Chains A and B, each alone.
Chain A
Amino acid sequence: MYKQAYTRVLPILVPAAFALACLTVMYPSLIRAVPLDELQTFKTSFLGILLEALPFVLVGALLSSLLHLFVSENTLRRFMPKHPVPGILFACVLGLIFPVCECGMIPLIRRMIQKGMPVYIAVVFILSGPILNPVVFGATYMAFRLYPEMVYARMGLAFVVSASIGLIIYLTWKDNPLKHAFAAGVDAEGEPHSPTHGGSKLAAVFVHAADEVFEMGKYLLIGCILTAGIQSFVAHEQLASIGGGQVSSYLFMMGFAFLLSLCSTSDAFVASAFLTTFSGGSLLAFLVFGPMLDFKNLLMLLSVFRTKFVLLLSFLICTVVFTGAALVGTLWLHP
């Protein structure tokens, strides 16, 4: 009967939480007396990242759920360009219409692949969507007020990187990249079977969306915990002392973007804080690499795609962004 284990935990957890909550309310001085500086910083950053991602996760889950229940495969297929080149261009522009950040993107993409969207188009959308959209453009422009080349370099490089990775995927990957459970999850007839769930279609939308939230949420939470942990327990200077040389500054900024897992709408401000210590090219690598691949994002990708596919994709992102940023950095942005 170990299946019901969680029900055995709940009766303990709930009263324990209640008792703790009562204690804090009754003895607020008890909490304040403990040296909680770093824990407080952790809590503030953790809830900050989580609350910031939440609206996008909800929108992503609801859109994906609506797509699942109301849009048939054929409708979607009719809108998709058949030829790969217009297909890739189309996917790059999709970000302009759906300004969702990467947290909301992945449930939506999974559903679209199940509905028959070609993998390379999905990949292009995952990579370009979080950067090529008006919100991110505005935020980057604001952060680099005195350095507007950076904005255009970021947008341009993101476009080139995602289009070329999409093309490579188109030429090399032919299988279904989804994890087995999800690939088999859709009915073979493509007939959505969930409307029987509860009778009301509207209720089914929300039940499905809740499933998505819990599916994605655990990866998002782990990502948030690690990111907030790094931000509150590791000093930036310690991190910055690692990367000094030409090549290592690129690698460092990319690794830094990976670890920080900031949302693409806000990472520009963090990058601009490094303007005095790092070259323009390595900041560009930070700005393009971070939204495409970071800790939080990687966990979410692993929850949907096969490990082999995620490894290939990560490898491609690392190499293409590194080469692109180094080229733009030396040719256009003065170090």
Chain B
Amino acid sequence: MNHPRIIRRHYLARSLILLGFALFIAHLVRSGALHYYIGPRMEPLIRFCPIPLAVMAVCLAYQALFQRSAVLCDCERPLSVSRWRNGTVYGLFLLPLLLGTLLPDQALGSSAAAKKGMSLTSPLLAAERLEEVFRAPDPYNSEFAELAKRLYPQTIVEVKPEIFSETIGAMELFAEEFRGKRVKLSGFVYQEPSSQGKANELILGRFLVLCCTADSAPFGLVVTSDQPLVGITQDTWLEVEGTIEPQTRQGQAILTVKAERIREITRPNTPYVYPSEDSVKAWNNLSGVED
């Protein structure tokens, strides 16, 4: 068992760390930077974390500062006496706080996409399973078909960020029908390390995030152009308007966009895209159509 004075110091250090976490999360929530790290369905859970953290910090601080020495004991969970151990443990807890405060909040970009492997199809749609699905339609497939029905009459199909992966999935599902349709979409520029030389081609990508950035899946469409695309660097945000051209590359059916107009834009506040619960309903809401 340790001396009460040492226990007090441990409790005080822990109290400060917990308080640090509470303030850090509160800061992320207030500054709106939380979405850089986690998906919207996790956000409500994280929002409440500062409350228990702060209560714990206050209780520990009370124990450390005002508790009678006789009742302070660490017999249940003995505190380590090694200086290196304690230093390392508290250092570990300080690391996320230091990283969080020192480095600017920044969304995942082409560097992460290169490591994770850029997909050229919507992760929500596994193309090789399509034949099976057409024989036995399941509710999700009809959702994509419903969405495609609504997208098709548009003169310009706008790939809205709210239903990004669903819209691309729906167009992939009916690739031949959408051939030659005009589309408009935005994303960050990603150039494969191997295809960097091709001056008239780039990938316009997005990160699909479910729970947190660690499970994000980068995917995008190949954008081709008649003129060489000079001066466009990795991670630039572009808005591209062009026509859909289904192609087969390395045995995989993908959609490409033949660009007619390319415009550089500022990075949107929400750079990631998330899967939508009901994309048809979301589309109706976004375009002001009654159900």
Contact = CB atoms under 8 A, between A and B. Distances in A.
Given A38-B111, A52-B211, A272-B123, A58 B117 contact: no
A197 B48 CA distance: 27
B46 A51 contact: yes
A61 to B, nearest CB: 9
Nearest to B57: A210
Given A45-B213, A146-B130, A3 B6 contact: yes
7 contacts: A6-B10, A9-B90, A139-B210, A210-B59, A215-B77, A276-B127, A276-B128
Interface size class for chain A?
35 or more
Interface string A266-280: 110110110110000
A28 interface: yes
Given A6-B90, A40-B109, A276-B126, 20 more contacts: A2-B82, A6-B9, A6-B10, A8-B83, A20-B102, A43-B103, A48-B214, A52-B214, A54-B49, A55-B45, A143-B210, A145-B138, A146-B138, A181-B78, A203-B63, A207-B63, A215-B77, A217-B93, A273-B119, A275-B126
Interface string B96-116: 111111111011110110111
A148 B140 CA distance: 10
Given A52-B42, A227-B214, A234 B55 contact: no
Question: How many residues of B sit at the interface, in one of the four size bands?
Answer: 35 or more
A221 B95 contact: yes
Interface string A208-244: 0111011101100110010110011111110010000
A37 B111 contact: yes
B94 interface: yes
Interface of A: 2-10, 13, 17, 20-21, 24, 28, 31-32, 36-41, 43-52, 54-55, 58, 62, 139, 142-143, 145-148, 181, 185, 194, 196-198, 203, 206-207, 209-211, 213-215, 217-218, 221-222, 225, 227-228, 231-237, 240, 260, 262-263, 265-267, 269-270, 272-273, 275-276
Contact of B96 (A21, A46, A196, A272): A46
Nearest to A10: B13
B159 interface: no
Nearest to B28: A51
A275 B217 CA distance: 13
B157 to A, nearest CB: 21
Nearest to B277: A142
Interface of B: 2-3, 6, 9-10, 13-15, 18, 21, 25, 34, 36-38, 42, 45-46, 48-49, 52-53, 55-57, 59-60, 62-63, 67, 71, 75-78, 81-84, 86-87, 89-104, 106-109, 111-112, 114-117, 119, 123-130, 132-133, 138, 140-141, 208, 210-215, 217, 252, 275
